Amino acid sequence: MSPFRQYSLLSALTALLVISIIIALSSGSVSVPVSTLWQQLWQPTPGIEQQILWELRLPRAMAAFVTGGLLALSGVIMQVLLRNPLADPYILGISGGAAVGALAVILLGVASVWISQAAFAGALLSVFVVFGLAGRQQWSATRLLLTGVVVSAGWGALINVMLTTSTSNNVQSMLFWLMGDLSQSQTHGWHFVLLSGGLLLILSQAQALNALARGELMAAALGVNVTRLKLLLYFSASILTATAVTVAGSVGFVGLVIPHMLRLLGARDHRWLVPCSVVLGGSFLLLADSLARTIVAPQQLPVGVLTAMIGVPAFLFILHQGARSS
Amino acid sequence: MTSPIVRTRQLRLQIGDRILCDQLNLSVAAGQRMAVLGQNGSGKTTLLHSLLKLCRVDKSRIEIDGRALTHWSRRDLAKTVGILFQENQDDMPATVHETVMLGRLPHLSGWRWESESDFALAENALKTVGLEAMTGRNVSSLSGGERQRLAIASLLTQSPKLYLLDEPSNHLDISFQIKTLKLLTETVIRDNSALIMATHDINLAARFCDQILLLNGDGTYTLGPATEVLTDVTLSHAYNCEIRHVATDIGKLYFPVT
């Protein structure tokens, strides 16, 4: 694919991001026209619109973008690390560990501010358990994958125990957390620092990722320090995923579908795939969340439901088109 | 006198506790081609992988370009030594063009992108293996032989000083086997590079290589010029099967009897 096509793809995605942000800010139970939006952003004048925009929608849009970007980036990494196109950020059990942490806090009835800390701790626990079991000596992709899947299943069992033994009130908030939801999300500056840091780090390894996608032996023969690269990928993907999960719960589908869509659109070179994934992942979650807030307004759906509802048909469509053209 | 491109001193190849080859002293100079012959599991692939630090081996006993392997960084090694693997992994989608460009990876430092000359090299390599019309095709849609030719093009794009070929004739039809090895031999002689190939085809080895390393699989080996090593007696001993030859106008042809 010519660099020209890659540039146009990235520009189109950036345009999509801008549109997604505008939609996310203007739509909702109270719709804010684009002209007012512009004015409120640059010269906020006190009023209901200013409050909605600055206190509700902007923070939520930022959370959506960060979560989407983190998950898509982590998905790209996992797919190369495991050399499995079906890998997603949660495949090694990170979301399971995070969920057990978060649900435990809900179950114990501790103040909900602790949910994200507990989720992060659970995610890290899972990362180290999987690494301890699979990664000590020579770790192959298959061994890592199998260990991750089994640990995930273990977390799943614990989650079911907690769901079946809690009161119906708790179950509601647990389900929202499990499906992925942005209504309680809070972002901090360090989330953005982490996203851009992760992006730069992985971009610097983009060529090595291109080689690793062809197998570890091939990568080593092409001059890549495979052991170091795999460690870097495993831990950076883990931290990115753990962060995303603490912001929004386990939003599904973004990490699996976004890198795939881009590969099918021709961005297989990681020097393009990595930045494109972050931009498209962010836009995708912005759009999904705007829909989650509006389709059954004033009620809200968890954004995870929407990502699956948009992601499945979109993915199938692109897959079908790709199969026809090649 | 310039040092040989690759040399081993008292090298031992082993997998687990099994010693495949012991006290191996080989040396391949610029322009030379060496074939590694032997039964399945006799250590042919292990030898090639050892020269690229791809498996456990005493690196101080291997010298590339006169410098012990211990002192080579992976990246520098990849600029000098290139390998054609027995099997290629292509679980992740990629096009022919992207695959052949990977050969330039060791030569691109840091954030540098491929230049026009890199693209020209790749295009040339694809032309030599007859895949120039397929640049946009997905690798998974290629036949086994086309994939093997693509891997060879990728290796040519890498343009190493030492070519390591593991079963280069795999999946190739008879005419492409001859064409490919002829091309590689010419490249090696023209560029003053060197070539080591592991193969099961004694006749290809006899035709294109000037040195033969025959691994017996029990730790012992026979090494020397093709004319000396390729005798019915040594081959029959190494393969544990009676092998004879007929003389033809292109040289000797070897075949199994029992």
Q: A11: pLDDT confidence band, cut at 50, 70 and 90?
A: very high
Domain assignment of residue B32, given as a range: 6-87+160-254
| Token code pair at residue B207 | 């035709």
CA–CA gap between residue A77 and residue A94 (Å, rounded): 14
> Is the per-residue pLDDT at A1 higher than 60?
no
B chain contacts of residue A221, beta-carbon cutoff 8 Å: 52, 54, 78, 82-83, 85
Question: Regarding predicted confidence, which is higher, A86 or A193?
Answer: A193
Give B-chain residues touching A224 at CB under 8 angstroms: 74
Q: pLDDT tens per residue, chain B (258 residues)?
A: 578 999 999 999 998 889 999 999 999 999 999 999 999 999 999 999 999 999 989 999 999 999 999 999 999 999 999 999 998 877 778 899 999 999 999 998 767 788 889 999 999 999 999 999 999 898 888 999 999 999 999 999 999 999 999 999 989 999 999 999 999 999 999 999 999 999 999 999 999 999 999 999 899 999 999 999 999 999 999 999 999 999 998 889 999 997
State the pLDDT at residue B232. Answer: 94
> Tens digits of per-residue pLDDT, A122-141?
999 999 999 888 876 667 88
Does a structural domain hold residue B139? no
Give chain A positions within 8 Å (CB) of B95: 1, 268
Residue A143: partners with Cβ closer than 8 Å, 6 or more residues away: A134
Cβ-Cβ contacts under 8 Å, B79 against chain A: 223
B117-137 per-residue burial string, b: 16 or more CB within 10 A, e: under 16: ebeebbbebbebbebeebeeb
Q: Does A295 touch chain B (CB under 8 A)?
A: no
Residue among B196, B149, B141 at smallest CA distance from B170: B149
In a domain, B216, yes or no: yes
Closest-CA residue to A96 (of A139, A4, A38, A160): A160
User: What residues contact B115, with CB distance under 8 A and at least 6 apart?
Assistant: none
Asked whether the predicted pLDDT for residue A244 surpasses 90, the reply is yes
Is A210–B52 a contact, with Cβ atoms under 8 angstroms apart? no
DSSP assigned state of A267: -
In a domain, B118, yes or no: no
Residue A326 has its nearest CB partner, among B52, B89, B138, at B138
The alpha carbon of residue A137 is apart from the nearest alpha carbon of chain B, in Å, by 14
Among A1, A222, A326, select the one facing B105 at the smallest CB separation. Answer: A222
Rg value, chain B, Cα: 18
Give the position of tokens 């005493």.
B58
Whether residue B95 and residue A1 make contact (CB cut-off 8 A), yes or no, is yes
The neighbouring-strand residues paired with B95 are B138
**pLDDT category of residue A325 using cuts at 50, 70 and 90:** low
Contact state of A222 with B93 under an 8 Å Cβ cutoff: no
**Could you give the residue ranges of the DSSP H alpha helices within chain A?**
3-26, 34-42, 48-51, 58-81, 94-108, 114-134, 141-165, 168-179, 189-204, 206-212, 216-221, 226-248, 254-264, 270-294, 303-325
pLDDT at A177: 86
* Domain count along chain B: 1
Residue B47 is assigned to a structural domain of this protein:
yes
Residue B201 lies in a domain: yes
Asked if A321 and A265 count as a contact pair (C-beta separation under 8 A), the reply is no
Give the CATH number of the domain where residue B59 resides.
3.40.50.300
Please report the pLDDT score of residue A296 as a whole number: 83
Instruction: Report CB contact under 8 Å: A263, B78.
Output: no
Residue B132 is assigned to a structural domain of this protein: no
Determine, yes or no, domain membership for B203. yes
- Rounded CA-CA distance A308/B174 in Å is 51
| Burial class for A103, CB neighbours closer than 10 Å (0-12, 13-18, 19+) | buried
Interface test with B, best of A84, A214, A218 (most B CBs within 10 A): A214
Inspect the interface and report whether the beta carbons of A268 and B141 lie closer than 8 Å.
no
Q: Do B91 and A80 touch (CB under 8 A)?
A: no
Mean pLDDT over residues A42-69, rounded?
89
The answer to whether A85 contacts B78, with C-beta atoms less than 8 Å apart, is no
Instruction: Please judge whether B141 and A326 are an interchain contact, meaning their C-beta atoms are less than 8 angstroms apart.
Output: yes
Contact B98 A210 (CB under 8 A): yes
DSSP state letters, A196-240: HHHHHHHHHTHHHHHHHTT-HHHHHHTT--HHHHHHHHHHHHHHH
By Cβ distance, the residue of B75, B93, B99 closest to A223 is B75
Instruction: Work out the minimum CA distance from B110 to partner chain A, whole angstroms.
Output: 7
Predicted confidence band of residue A323 (pLDDT cuts 50, 70, 90): low
DSSP state string for A156-192: HHHHHHHHHHS-HHHHHHHHHHHH---TT----HHHH
Among A149-153, A175-179, B142-146, the least confident range: A175-179
Q: Which of B77, B85, B98 sits opposite A223 (nearest CB)?
A: B77
Residue A223, min C-alpha distance to chain B (Å): 4
Average pLDDT over residues A34-60: 85
Nearest to A218 among B76, B79, B89 (CB): B89
Better-scored residue on pLDDT, B85 or A115: B85
Q: Is A218 on the interface with B (CB under 8 A)?
A: yes
**Does ipTM exceed 0.90?**
yes
Average pLDDT of chain A to the nearest whole number:
89
Q: Give the count of beta carbons closer than 10 Å to the beta carbon of residue A16.
A: 17
Decide if B130 is inside a domain.
Answer: no
Asked whether the beta carbons of residue B78 and residue A223 sit closer than 8 angstroms, the reply is: yes
Q: Min CA distance, B35 vs chain A (Å)?
A: 20
- pLDDT at position A320 is 79
Q: What residues of chain A lie within 8 A of the CB of B97, using their CB?
A: 1
Any B CB within 8 A of A206 CB: no
> In this structure, are residues A144 and A84 in contact, taking their beta carbons and an 8 Å threshold?
no
By the 10 Å C-beta count (0-12 exposed, 13-18 middle, 19+ buried), A208 is classed as buried
Percent of chain A exceeding pLDDT 70 equals 97
Strand (E) or helix (H) holding B237: helix B232-239
